[in-house]
Structure 1
Amino acid sequence: MDDTGTTSSRKKGKPRRFWNHREEVFLITTMKDVIASNPRWKLDNNQFRVGFYNECEKKILSAFPGTDLRASPHIDSKIKFWRKQYNTLQDMLNISGFGWDDEQKMVLVDSDDRVPDAKGMRNRPFPFYEDWLIRFGKDRATGELAEDPADAVAVMEKEDENATTEE
């Protein structure tokens, strides 16, 4: 298998870089190793500190001499792409009619008619899903614990009632 990704030209701007599987596996492993060596690289919202992509680039350059992979735009855009896929998967898995096959690492869809985006997701493995859960799991609001002002007032009133009853 080739050790370098491929490049294709686009109509506008710079050529697009395609990662091969070995490079992707190395990047996800490198992200894990860099965070393990210094947990401060990862912020509480699962974003990464400035310089994190550069740390990953250094490890990639030592593992793949002569590669054209760089922190910007390659690593940055790959992580954005992965995060977008993760978010789409999470949205789908929270809808009735979608499931997850843990053995084959793919989405189970009961009907392509339900969600137009499902056509691109069916029978397609996502081998990095568990890694994405760890890296990107808490980086977006789900609304599960959200409450509007009326709910907040009702909760406070109930707490006041409970405190009064206990006294």
Structure 2
Amino acid sequence: MDPNSGDNQITPKKQSGQGRCDTPRRTPRKYKSKSLDENVMSGGVMRWTDQMDDCLIDTLMDVVANGRKSANGFKKETYKTVVESVRRALGISVVEKHVGNRLRTLKRLYFEVRDTLNASGFGWDDDKKLVTAPDDVWDDYIRSHPYAQHVRRKPVRRYDDLVFLFESD
């Protein structure tokens, strides 16, 4: 597939109500005592908000749709693009390390959900964006796959987009 030809390009599925990071906010949110950066930083650890995740995912989807993802994953230039998108759209200072860490977290989440869905007895509630199964199925599965405990009741809002981004990895 030639990414420059315009033929056979994958078009990312856009969901209604999802965040967009290509529209910069005019002013950062006002918080009573902390700056926006302080609200996402806790004990030296970056806490990603839904808006930040939306911006990251939207930017990565554009990268994939434009054929700029390598066979080995996302290039370092992509991290720079995400850093600039988050800063421009949300007024939050992130660095490439934050982007790489969040990308690894989202990729791990994707594989955990995918593996759980591939196990017998599990389904997907598209309205709630949640992996579903009877309690006894969950209990048995978690005994042999303890990592799955946190996906039991955790909605994965952008799972369809994570499939688009990571299914070939």
- TM-score normalised over the length of structure 1: 0.69
Residues 1:69 and 2:94 are matched in the alignment:
yes
3-state SS in 2 of match to 1:107: strand
Unaligned 5+ residue runs, structure 2? 1-28
* CA RMSD across the alignment: 2.0
User: What do the CA deviations read for 1:87-109 (whole angstroms, capped 9, x no partner)?
Assistant: 11111111102111112111002
Q: Relative contact order, CA 8 A, sep 6+: which one is greater?
A: 2
Partner of 2:157: 127
- Contact 2:63-2:69 at 8 Å conserved across structures: no
Structure with higher Rg: it is 1
Identity of aligned pairs, percent? 28
Unaligned 5+ residue runs, structure 1? 10-14, 140-167
3-state SS in 2 of match to 1:115: helix
Q: Structure 2: how far apart are the matches of 1:34 and 1:113?
A: 39
User: What do the CA deviations read for 1:25-83 (whole angstroms, capped 9, x no partner)?
Assistant: 111112223344x42x21235x1123111111122222233x22111x11101110000
Aligned residues: 129
Q: Structure 2: how far apart are the matches of 1:35 and 1:98?
A: 29
| Matched ranges for 1:18-167 at <5 A | 18-36=47-65, 38-39=66-67, 41-44=68-71, 47-65=73-91, 67-71=92-96, 73-110=97-134, 111=136, 112-116=138-142, 117=146, 118-139=148-169
Partner of 1:165: none
Q: Structure 2: how far apart are the matches of 1:27 and 1:103?
A: 23
The change in CA–CA distance for 1:81 and 1:68 in structure 2 (over 3 A counts) is same
